[in-house]
Structure 1
Amino acid sequence: MSVAEPRRIVLFRHAKADWPPVSDHERPLAERGRMDAAVAGRKLADTGIAFDLALCSTAVRTRETWKLAVQEFPQRPKTVYEERIYEASPGELIALLNETPDDAQNVLLVGHNPGVQALADILAGAAEGDARERMSRRGYPAAAFAVLSFAGSWKSLEPGVATLLDYWAPTE
């Protein structure tokens, strides 16, 4: 696999969480979140992207989101549950993505706001069609995802190098 081929990153925010009396890390999905996670999984499968790797926060709501979404995929990618995604800043997420092996062409990151939204904004130096306008208008609600592309190695991923190809969010 050549580093000259465009790589894709999908930044997927966990689906809507419930608010039971547990620590933030242990919050499960709400019923609405379970439904939206499956719908988002179908939309992700519809992109036709063959993911090589999924990086998922260790928080309960992100693990549940991923478990429901990946059931809609034609093929399950290798999944790494990464505690550094929880409460990560955009810079910390970039540093994590910089560690990705170059044999991974397409990576999906399942995380949290505000980090995921800020990362999409920071990475996207350009956008196709109305993707940026839709992302700006909708914000980054639960179960939303952005599809970005960039050329080069994972070590070269930095602010402004990617193109925002698409953005999707569930209807409210």
Structure 2
Amino acid sequence: MKKTLYLVRHAKAEDRASFQRDHDRDLVPEGIMAAARVGHHLAGQGIKPDCLISSTANRARDTGKVMAEQFHIDPDRMVLEPKLFDGGPKAYIAAINGVDKNCQSVMLFGHNPDISYFAEYLTHADVGSMSKGAVAIIEFENLDWAAISGRTGHLVDLVSPKKLKES
């Protein structure tokens, strides 16, 4: 059975210089609007993830909450994973490998550069640096979440707020 992973880089947040702790930076109004726009676009495509996982950083968690609203999903269903903040790509693979087998689709909210590296690791596609609020849509055929590793996925699409704004 096919599994779908939506890797989401958090939307635009406050400047690093404005905060004492990077973890506590909040989304700016432009970031909130961009996350809502991308979520609305995906929902319009019939997408509604079964499971949500996010870094505990404010900007990632809040990107997840804004998008969850677009899918009519209770944001409290989101699982917060502290290691996604600064645990590197290994934290991302551990989070995905630990997903409940009953979830057919997962949306994970994280940070660059790790989330972009992770998308490339899974697909061997040239993703580059994902823009803020972008979503890499990756499909896996006949694999359980625990078996997902390098080059096991196929990049279906890369959706960015900027591209949606232009169209």
Aligned match of 1:90: 89
Give distance in 1, aligned partners of 2:74 and 2:56. Answer: 18
Is it true that 1:27 corresponds to 2:17 in the alignment? no
Give distance in 1, aligned partners of 2:131 and 2:89. Answer: 17
Moved more, 105-114 or 36-45: 36-45
Trace 1:57-68 onto structure 2 (pairs within 5 A).
57-68=55-66
User: Normalising by the residue count of structure 2, what TM-score does the alignment of the two structures yield?
Assistant: 0.88
Aligned match of 2:162: 171
Aligned match of 2:52: 54
How far apart are residue 95 of structure 1 and its match? Answer: 1.6
Structure holding more helix per residue? 2
Q: CA offsets, 1:48-98, max 9 Å, x none? A: 233110001110111211121211114447311111111232222112211
Q: CA offsets, 1:98-127, max 9 Å, x none? A: 11111111000001011110111110146x
Trace 1:116-135 onto structure 2 (pairs within 5 A).
116-125=115-124, 135=127
Aligned match of 1:129: none
Q: CA offsets, 1:142-164, max 9 Å, x none? A: 00010001121111000000000
User: Normalising by the residue count of structure 1, what TM-score does the alignment of the two structures yield?
Assistant: 0.85
Trace 1:2-41 onto structure 2 (pairs within 5 A).
5-19=1-15, 20-41=18-39
Give distance in 1, aligned partners of 2:101 and 2:43. Answer: 23
Instruction: Please say if residues 49 and 106 of structure 1, whose CA atoms lie closer than 8 Å, have aligned partners that are also in contact.
Output: no
Is it true that 1:157 corresponds to 2:148 in the alignment? yes
RMSD: 1.7
Gaps of 5+ in 2: none
Instruction: Please say if residues 35 and 161 of structure 2, whose CA atoms lie closer than 8 Å, have aligned partners that are also in contact.
Output: no
Aligned match of 2:80: 81
How far apart are residue 171 of structure 1 and its match? Answer: 1.4
Percent sequence identity over matched residues?
A: 33
How many residues were matched structurally? 159
Structure 1 residue aligned with 2:131, among 115, 134, 141?
A: 141
Runs of 4+ aligned residues of structure 1 deviating over 6 Å after TM superposition are none
Give distance in 2, aligned partners of 1:40 and 1:88. Answer: 26
